[in-house]
């Protein structure tokens, strides 16, 4: 099931140009694949005068994770609880800048672990026929802050 930008952005805690993903191509219980061309946009909020650094690919992956969690929560009749980025592991940047990659980026997130609102995913950003960024991302549940 393909979801376009407006519906995708409603699933994550980012709005406007900070919603970096353009489309959900497919998803299932364990993974999601999204696409985007926002890395080429001059108004990308992560872009500096020097361009868009590859490390920002981790944010693309984190947004795919949030979209996946939002879809799973919506299917269960719930909403996605607030979480925060708790850890990055095994980060590998295979390019220095994303804005130099032509065409569309593919952003994949595969769930490795889920324990309540604590989640671990492997994320990969690819484009122009090659892997650009990969990492293991952990998100921690923030519901404890409400106690």
At 130 the pLDDT is 97
Sequence ranges of the domains in the chain? 3-146
If you classify domain 3-146 with CATH, what class do you get?
A: alpha beta
SS (H, E, C) the chain: CCEEHHHHHCCCCCCHHHCCCCEEEEECCCEEEEEECHHHCCCCCCCECCECEHHHHHHHHHHHHHHHHHHHHHHCCCCCCCEEEEEEEEEEECCCECCCCCCCEEEEEEEEEEECCEEEEEEEEEECCEEEEEEEEEEEECHHHHC
At 7 the pLDDT is 82
pLDDT tens-digit map of 1-38: 687 888 878 887 777 788 999 999 999 999 999 999 99
pLDDT tens-digit map of 116-133: 778 999 999 999 999 999
Assess whether pLDDT exceeds 70 at residue 147.
no
């Amino acid at each position: 099931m393909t979801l376009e930008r407006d519906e995708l952005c409603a699933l994550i805690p980012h709005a406007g140009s900070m919603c970096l993903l353009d489309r959900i191509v497919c998803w299932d219980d364990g993974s999601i694949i999204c696409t985007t061309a926002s890395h080429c946009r001059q108004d990308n909020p992560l872009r500096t005068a020097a361009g868009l650094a590859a490390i920002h690919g981790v944010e693309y992956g984190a947004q795919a994770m949030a979209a996946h969690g939002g879809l799973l929560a919506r299917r269960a009749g719930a909403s996605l609880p607030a979480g925060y980025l708790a850890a990055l592991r095994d980060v590998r940047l295979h390019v220095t800048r994303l804005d130099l990659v032509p065409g569309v980026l593919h952003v994949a997130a595969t769930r490795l672990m889920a324990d309540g609102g604590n989640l671990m995913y492997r994320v990969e950003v690819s484009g122009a026929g090659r892997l650009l960024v990969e990492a293991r991302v952990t998100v921690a549940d923030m519901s404890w802050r409400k106690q």
